[in-house]
Amino acid sequence: MVSDYKQLNEDYLMRIFSRDLMVVKGQGSKVWDENGKEYLDCVAGIAVCSTGHCHPLVVKAICEQAKNLIHISNLYYVPGQGELGKRLVEHTGLTGGRAFFANSGTEANEAAIKLARVRTGKSHFISFQEGFHGRSSGALALTHKVNYRQPFAPLQPECTFVPYGDEEAVKEAIRPDTAAIVLEGVQGEAGVIPSRKGFLTAIREICDDTGCWMIMDEIQTGIGRTGKWFSYEHENILPDVVSMAKGMGSGFPMGAIVAREGLEFLPGEHGGTFNGGPLACAACDATLTVVESVISDVERKGQRFKDAINAENIRQIGLMIGVPVPEGTCTDIQKECQKNGVLVNCASGSIRLVPPLIITDDEINFAAGVLNEALGSR
pLDDT in tens, 80-97: 999 999 999 999 999 999
Domain that holds residue 94: 78-293
Q: How far apart are CA 335 and CA 213, in angstroms?
A: 42
Decide if 133 is inside a domain: yes
Q: Does the pLDDT value for residue 100 go beyond 90?
A: yes
Q: Residue 3: pLDDT above 70? A: no
Residue 10 and residue 16 in contact, taking contact as beta carbons nearer than 8 Å: no
Is the predicted pLDDT of residue 342 greater than 70, yes or no?
yes
Nearest to 242 by CA among 93, 134, 103, 139: 93
pLDDT at 211: 97
Give me the mean pLDDT over the 154-162 stretch.
97
Asked if residue 195 belongs to a domain, the reply is yes
Question: At 213, which CATH number?
Answer: 3.40.640.10
Residue 22 belongs to a domain:
no
Q: Taking residues 158-162, report their average pLDDT.
A: 98
On whether residue 333 sits in a domain, the answer given is no
Residue 198 falls within a domain, yes or no?
yes
Judge whether 122 and 179 are in contact, CB under 8 Å. Answer: yes
Q: What is the pLDDT of residue 6?
A: 86
Nearest to 24, CA basis, from 2, 43, 47: 2
Average pLDDT score over residue span 35-47: 97
Q: What angle is formed at CA 306 by the lines to CA 302 and CA 312, rounded to 5 degrees?
A: 150
Per-residue pLDDT at 2 exceeds 60: no
The model carries a pTM of: 0.96
Q: Which of 135, 128, 136, 138 is nearest to 166 (CA)?
A: 128
Per-residue pLDDT of 171-198, as tens digits, reads 999 999 999 999 999 999 999 999 999 9
pLDDT higher than 70, residue 1? no
Residues 315, 321 contacting (CB under 8 angstroms): yes
CB 58 within 8 A of CB 287: yes
Q: What is the pLDDT of residue 18?
A: 86
β-strand 255-259 against 241-244: which pairing, if any?
A: antiparallel
The tens digit of pLDDT for each residue in 235-291 reads 999 999 999 999 999 999 999 999 999 999 999 999 999 999 999 999 999 999 999
**DSSP letter string, 195-250:** PPTTHHHHHHHHHHHH--EEEEE-TTTTTTTTSSSSGGGGGT---SEEEE-GGGTT
Percent of the chain with pLDDT over 70: 99
CA 73 to chain centre: 25
Domain count, the chain: 1
Report yes or no on 47 lying in a domain.
Answer: no
Residue 72: band (very low, low, confident or very high) from pLDDT cuts 50, 70, 90: very high
Asked if the structure places residue 340 within a domain, the reply is: no
20 domain-assigned: no
Q: Give the least confident one: 43-52, 146-155, 346-355.
A: 146-155
In DSSP terms, 322 is beta-bridged to 315, 352
pLDDT at 378: 62
Q: How confident is the model at residue 5 (pLDDT cuts 50, 70, 90)?
A: confident
CA terminus-to-terminus distance, the chain: 33
Average pLDDT over the chain reads: 96
Query: Given a cut of 60, is residue 332 above it in pLDDT?
Result: yes
Given a cut of 60, whether residue 45 has pLDDT beyond it is yes
What does the DSSP assignment read for 145-164? -HHHHGGG-S-SSEEEEE-T
pLDDT in tens, 344-363: 999 999 999 999 999 999 99
